[in-house]
Amino acid sequence: MKLGMLTACLPQWSLDRIAEWAAGAGYQALEVAVWPGTGGRDFEASHLPVADFGPRQVEETQALFDRHGLELSAFAYYENNLHPDPARRAEIHTHLRHAVDAAQALGVPYVGTFVGRDWTKPVADNLAEAEGVFPALVEYAGERDVKLVIENCVMEGWHPDGYPGNLAYSPELWEWMFDLGLYLNWDPSHLTWIGIDPVETIAPYVHRIVHAQAKDVELFPQARQRYGSFGKVHKNGPWDMGWWRYRVPGLGQVDWNRVVDRLHEWGFTGVLSVEHEDPVWSGDEERITRGLRIAHRTLSPLVGE
């Protein structure tokens, strides 16, 4: 197992700068954000131009990672592959294929994305639609020796009423999507707040957990007494549930000793990638990098560098 980090938390930094900082901080791998362009939000970070990725970019990227002794563990393009707008959906699928092409050129084994959801339709209709959408995407990736990995994020902010906007949040849905040829970028934080013990999901599904994300979550039970598990009605933003928030590993309720030990026990040898979405350690680069150092300090003794 190696300890890595997702670059999306530093959208204004170049990949060169991130690689230099990460290697100096003791990280071993980068999960690189490859959205088409930055929109001021961390999950739109663009650290490699995968839509225009020629031999020069391949050579420069390989040299960068070799210079810093880092592994490029995966590309991150977490978008809604079932978007209700056909034009937007087509754009997303096109860029996903660009990411796969660039991954093939660099020998990157995984491209991460979401199943997503058409929020205008019931869940059953979405599952049927996904069964028509994903086989072609999976085949495209497979022909290039790349696996599509799905993060189990709920993405409640994508749904107008705060219901799950990514139909990959539970083991029931994992089993369904595995049948479509998809793999799992496993994240314990999302499981924790929806009431699933993440440790209990490792042994049954480790054969499809090829990449993992390290994000913590802090719960506020008293606030849940007011809002319920579905969260606030009057939100301060699409992600404001009111009774929980994401934290860097070590500052929330996830038991990282048990999580990493169980990953070791069941033979996970991939990358555990820190996904920094902690609002406390955000706002400027000094606080973001301090949060990443807290995560590294928490996880590195457990991963076993």
Report how far residue 156's alpha carbon sits from residue 165's, in angstroms, rounded to the nearest whole number.
5
- The structure tokens listed for 194 are 């929806």
CATH of the domain at 101: 3.20.20.150
Q: Give the number of domains in the chain.
A: 1
Average pLDDT over residues 200-225: 97
CA end-to-end span of the chain: 8
Report how far residue 225's alpha carbon sits from residue 4's, in angstroms, rounded to the nearest whole number.
36
Residue 229 has pLDDT above 70, yes or no: yes
Residue 144 has pLDDT above 80, yes or no: yes
Residue 230 has pLDDT above 60, yes or no: yes
Residue 41 has pLDDT above 60, yes or no: no
**Position of tokens 């995984």?**
110
Cα 301 to chain centroid, rounded: 23
pLDDT value of position 38: 52
Contacts of 216 (CB under 8 A, 6+ apart): 189, 246, 247, 248, 249, 250, 251, 252, 253, 254, 256, 278
Helices (H), 49-122: 55-68, 86-106
Q: What is the pLDDT of residues 168-204, one digit of tens each?
A: 999 999 999 999 999 999 999 999 999 999 999 999 9
Helix (H, G, I), strand (E, B) or coil at 235: coil
Cβ(258)–Cβ(214) below 8 Å: no
Cβ(95)–Cβ(132) below 8 Å: no
**Position of tokens 């999507």?**
177
Contacts of 265 (CB under 8 A, 6+ apart): 203
pLDDT value of position 256: 98
Q: What is the DSSP letter of 91?
A: H
Amino acid at 292: L
Q: What is the pLDDT of residues 87-109, one digit of tens each?
A: 999 999 999 999 999 999 999 99
Report how far residue 142's alpha carbon sits from residue 120's, in angstroms, rounded to the nearest whole number.
31
Domain of 288, in residue numbers: 2-303
Q: Which residues make beta-bridge pairs with 244? A: 219
Range 18-26, long-range pairs (CB < 8 A, 24+ positions): 18/47, 19/64, 19/65, 19/67, 19/68, 19/70, 20/68, 21/289, 22/68, 22/70, 22/292, 23/68, 23/69, 23/70, 25/289, 25/292, 25/293, 25/296, 26/296, 26/300, 26/305
Cβ(111)–Cβ(96) below 8 Å: yes
Report how far residue 48's alpha carbon sits from residue 147's, in angstroms, rounded to the nearest whole number.
19
Report how far residue 69's alpha carbon sits from residue 19's, in angstroms, rounded to the nearest whole number.
9
Backbone φ, ψ for residue 110 (5° rounding): -135, 145
pTM of the predicted protein model: 0.96
